[in-house]
Amino acid sequence: MILRLCTSEGEKVGLEDAGKLLISLQEIAWHMGSFLEGQPFSEGGRLKKQILDDYCLLIKSISSGSVVVEVESAVKYGQPEIDNFQKYQPPGPRVITKITDFIASVEGEEGREVDDVVPDHAYRSRLLLDLLNLYPKKPNYALHFEGQGGRSFEMKAANRGRIEGLISQRQRHLGQEVRIGLLADLRVDPEKVMKIERIGEKFQAVYPGDLEARARDLLGHPVKLTGRAERISGSPKIKNFYVDKIEPYESYQLEEFEAGDRIFVPRIPIEVSVEYDEGLWVLSIPYVDAVGYSTDYYEAENQLHDFIDELWTEYALCPEDGLGETGKLLREVLLGLFEVN
């Protein structure tokens, strides 16, 4: 990506203005990366370390005159590694493409709608706020943005109104969503409200009376809520969540992940068991004795991935004649579960 911040003839670019521009671009990259990786949205919550690392941007070059900054991904891959990506481009090129698509949709490029580029309402609202910070505020500034495929846009202060219009639309967003978290509190009178926390965004949810008994049974446990989220004024934060269905969140299907310098791609569906016990999240794959545990859900997830990576090093990469019978069996199971690049 190339950014060129220009001012009216005879004026100079403020250092603070240029710095804020770069910070805003990095914020967009991190939030877009989190969306691309399918992470639950958390307003004000911390992003996973893997997201911060994989979608970090670096200044490649700076030119004199108007502030011209060329930006690139901090993560570098050789061609053999790029060829091994099964589903997508590497994180850097993928997020640059998506940011370019997003700006194109906001700028009204034919055939591109903002809702189609980022379907998730919470992430879309967050990214619109990030993008508004990227557009110059001062009328004498103009920002030339060149993204994926040489696509370029002139981002001027006068165009901020288009984004502000998208943000300020007072739409009641009531599309059905699925949210997961810990059912931390339950009120039954006078209002039937439950408090959800510990995974992604903290929020309160209103539930119907016929779900009260079920909710009581699940108090203090991980839950999966299906319902309708209401957000006002384009805010990414949930204002009200109306529960249609509540069920225990006991497992999820493992997806492609990176651990160490390897990428693990499941060959078959793999269920990860989820438990919450005395303040600890415990994520495990019982039939290979892989486990991750922490007070933080995402840290437990990282530990599980690292554990699998250690098993792979110890057993899958070890010659079969160097293992005992149990080790040989585990090696066979691991090779059947994962394709590793």
pLDDT digits (tens, 9 = 90+) for 278-307: 889 999 998 898 999 999 898 999 999 999
CA-to-CA distance for 161 and 154, rounded, in angstroms? 14
pLDDT of 255 over the 50 cut: yes
Q: CA 133: distance to chain centroid? A: 20
pLDDT value of residue 175: 63
- Kindly report which listed range (63-72, 106-115, 151-160, 191-200) carries the lowest average pLDDT score: 63-72
pLDDT of 235 over the 70 cut: no
On whether the CB atoms of residues 63 and 3 are closer than 8 A, the answer is no
pLDDT of 43 over the 70 cut: no
How much is the mean pLDDT over the chain? 84
pLDDT value of residue 221: 94
pLDDT of 258 over the 50 cut: yes
The model's confidence at residue 148, banded by pLDDT at 50, 70 and 90, is confident
For the chain, list the domains and their CATH numbers: 2-168 (no CATH), 176-248 (2.40.50.140), 251-340 (no CATH)
Percentage above 70 pLDDT, the chain: 87
pLDDT value of residue 232: 62
pLDDT of 82 over the 50 cut: no
Percentage above 90 pLDDT, the chain: 36
Mean pLDDT computed over 22-42: 87
pLDDT value of residue 22: 87
pLDDT digits (tens, 9 = 90+) for 85-138: 444 567 888 889 999 999 999 888 766 788 889 988 778 888 998 998 888 888
Mean pLDDT computed over 59-65: 72
Q: Which residue has the higher pLDDT, 243 or 6?
A: 243
Reply yes or no: is the peptide bond before residue 269 cis, omega within 30 of 0. Answer: no
pLDDT digits (tens, 9 = 90+) for 172-219: 455 678 888 999 999 987 678 999 998 877 889 999 888 999 999 999
CA-to-CA distance for 123 and 40, rounded, in angstroms? 9
Residue 167's closest CA among 235, 261, 228, 221? 235
